[in-house]
Amino acid sequence: MRILIAEDDPVSRRLLESYLGKWGYSVAAAGDGAEAWRLFEAGSFTMVITDWMMPELDGPGLICRIRASHRPGYVYTVVLTARSRKEDLVEGLEAGADDFLTKPFDRDELRARLRAGERILRLEHQLREAQAARLQAEQLAGLGRLAAGVAHEINNPIAFVTNNLAVLRRDVGSALTVLARYESGREALARSDPSLVAEIERLEDEADLAYFRENYERIFERTAEGLQRIRRIVQDLRDFARLDEAESKEVDLNAAVRSAIAALGHELNARSIRAEATPGEIPPVVCHPAKINQVFYNVLHNAIQATDPGGSIEVRTRAEGQGAGTVVVEIEDHGVGIAPEHLAHVFEPFFTTRPVGSGTGLGLSVAYGILRDHGGTIEAESTVGRGSVFRIRIPACGGD
């Protein structure tokens, strides 16, 4: 946890830094409110301890700015002051302070109040996770309804077209056989009616009959392949949403990975990014299919956003551990990477390094929560300029 200290008295500031460092906190300290605000804008802090009276910008003023900044995640603030009047307490609370500690402060009391603040921050974090999960669940439900509607509206016309194509393919072949039989008698026809033969040859040239004879089978095959591809796309959407499966069941994660890649095919194609799956021999896992599909979708989508056009993403699966053990899914991109100071925050709700408006910062936090509920984990490794690996572990059927 990172704590920002704003204290103009150097002795008190050094004392606070010493205590907080010994207690395991990461600390940044400022000698006045204005400097503290600059540090706050440039960094990421979950807690602020501020003096009341400071030059340029006092404690309540600093807290007002923090509250008005609308940073993702809550910032817990503690005011250190010698003031003890009720009016001062009211003023500080109205400015947005969460707690007060009078000077000279007691070390044990300070630690107890910081621990109380940590509990509040954990509750706030859990609330944001729950809200993010609900939002993602609503989005997934909408996608499921869309997939069901697409399947209903497209599958029937696709069946008509497929059946009609089969009939056309059969009848065109028969028609060409009949035409070939007529052509075998062309010489006799030319002797009896040369003008008719000339008209037939002109029509053959206009219709490019020779090209059609040579290529009609390939045309029908490619058309059938296109129809089959549409069927697969619709089925991939249905497999991805799987809203008809509300209960946990055994799932092949290799199939789930393929489904998520297919669901993101339009984004991969739009950015000319290759997603290469290397499936391993893995046991099934017991999970809620829609939620696990959402995990793969979110992490893959994040990888696409981090990868430059023309790049690649690798997805690998393998078994780990004795017996049933654990299934490991690794999703690796070769993109921009994540800075070390950001890596520890990537699973926090609403945290994003992308520009304002281009991402909600919900995808990875929701994936983290889903995996936690399934007894699994997700971790990230990254090198700036070289890319990132997200490693997902889910207990296999019968595993520990």
Single out the residue of 247, 348, 362, 240 nearest to residue 292, CA to CA. Answer: 240
Q: In this structure, are 274 and 367 located in the same domain?
A: yes
Decide: helix, strand or coil at residue 368: helix
Taking only the tens place, the pLDDT of each residue in 45-100 is: 889 999 988 988 988 899 999 988 877 778 999 998 877 677 777 777 787 888 88
pLDDT category at 391 given cuts 50, 70, 90 is very high
What stretch of H or E contains 320?
strand 312-320
70 and 148 together in one domain: no
pLDDT tens column, 313-345: 999 999 988 766 899 999 999 888 888 888 877
Residue 133 lies in a domain: no
Q: What is the CATH number of the domain that holds 75?
A: 3.40.50.2300
Task: Kindly indicate the confidence band of residue 257, based on its pLDDT and cuts at 50, 70 and 90.
Answer: very high
Cα gap 325→221, rounded to integer Å: 45
Confidence at 370, pLDDT banded by 50, 70, 90: confident
Tokens of 376: 């699994």
**217, 241, 265 — which closes off a domain?**
241
- 111 located within any domain: no
Range of the domain at 276: 249-395
Q: Which one is predicted more confidently, 139 or 396?
A: 396
163 shares a domain with 300? no
Q: How far is C-alpha 261 from the chain's CA centre?
A: 12
In angstroms, rounded to a whole number, what is the distance separating the alpha carbons of residues 55 and 16? 19
pLDDT of residue 243: 45
Question: What percentage of the chain reaches a pLDDT higher than 90?
Answer: 28
Which residue, 241, 270, 303, sits at the end of a domain? 241
When pLDDT is cut at 50, 70 and 90, the band that residue 130 belongs to is confident
d(CA 78, CA 92): 10
Residue 368 lies in a domain: yes
| Residue 202, both tokens | 């002109």
Within this chain, do residues 100 and 180 fall inside the same structural domain, yes or no?
Answer: no
Does 132 fall in a domain? no
Quick one: average pLDDT of 381-387?
A: 90
Residue 366 has a pLDDT of 76
Instruction: Check residue 140 and give its pLDDT.
Output: 56
Residues 221-249 have pLDDT tens digits of 888 888 887 876 666 556 555 544 556 78
Distance CA 41, CA 122 (A): 22
pLDDT at residue 400, rounded to an integer: 46
The pLDDT mean for the chain works out to 82
Q: Is 20 exposed, middle or buried (0-12, 13-18, 19+ CB in 10 A)?
A: buried
Residue 257 shares a structural domain with residue 376: yes
Mean pLDDT of 196-214: 77
Residues 20, 111: Cα–Cα separation, whole Å: 8
Query: How far is 389 from 351, CA to CA, in rounded Å?
Result: 18
Q: Are residues 369 and 234 in the same domain?
A: no
- For position 244, what pLDDT does the model report? 46
8 Å CB contact between 387 and 332: yes
Looking at the structure, tell me whether residues 263 and 355 fall in a common domain. yes
pLDDT at 375 over 80: yes
- Four-point Cα dihedral 215, 220, 222, 224, nearest 10: -170
Residue 93 has a pLDDT of: 79
Rounded to an integer, the average pLDDT of 193-207 is: 76
The last residue of one of the domains, among 105, 126, 152, is 105
User: Looking at the 3D structure of the chain, how many domains does it have?
Assistant: 3
Residue owning tokens 């393929």: 258
pLDDT at 358: 46
Query: What pLDDT does 299 receive?
Result: 93
Residues 229 and 267 grouped into a single domain: no
pLDDT digits (tens, 9 = 90+) for 273-324: 999 999 999 999 988 888 888 899 889 998 998 899 999 999 999 998 876 6
Q: How far apart are CA 116 and CA 55, in angstroms?
A: 29
With 0-12 / 13-18 / 19 or more C-beta atoms within 10 angstroms meaning exposed / middle / buried, residue 260 is: buried
Give the single-character DSSP code of 82.
S
| pLDDT above 50: residue 152 | yes
Structure tokens at 314: 């690798």
Calculate mean pLDDT across residues 132-146: 64
User: In degrees rounded to 5, what are phi and psi of residue 320?
Assistant: -145, 140
**What is the rounded CA–CA span in Å between residue 249 and residue 300?**
23
Residue whose structure tokens are 């009391």: 109
